Amino acid sequence: MRKRASRPVFTEVQMYEYSHPIFIKGRYRVVALTENQEFNEDQIMAYAVLNSSGAKLRHELSLIDAKEWMEKLVEEDNVSVEVQQPQLKPRRVRR
């Protein structure tokens, strides 16, 4: 009897991604992404920049790149706030 060659079995694999906060500034945070719920610095796959509602805005491979991108977002927010604030005139004292 002839043996059949074994074939690889392809199954759908679900990969879970857990985020662990690393750095928070303004409305943004940098998180480390791991496959495990328990944080282990040796198992970090990547970093992500999230907004205050938790939406992933950027995916980076290094912590430095993620922090730089977040700093850029914070600066843009600060500039837009400065532009939107109306110029207030000082109150005059009535005599």
Place of tokens 């679900």: 14
**DSSP string over the chain:** -PPPPP-PPP-------EEEEEEEETTEEEEEEESSSS--GGG--EEEEE-TT--EEEEESSHHHHHHHHHHHHHHHHHHHHHHSPPPPPPPPP-
Q: At 3, is the pLDDT very low, low, confident or very high (cuts 50, 70, 90)?
A: very low
Domain parsing of the chain, residue ranges: 18-84
Report pLDDT digits (tens) over 16-32. Answer: 889 999 999 989 999 99
* pTM for this model (two decimals): 0.67
Highest mean pLDDT among 8-17, 18-27, 78-87: 18-27
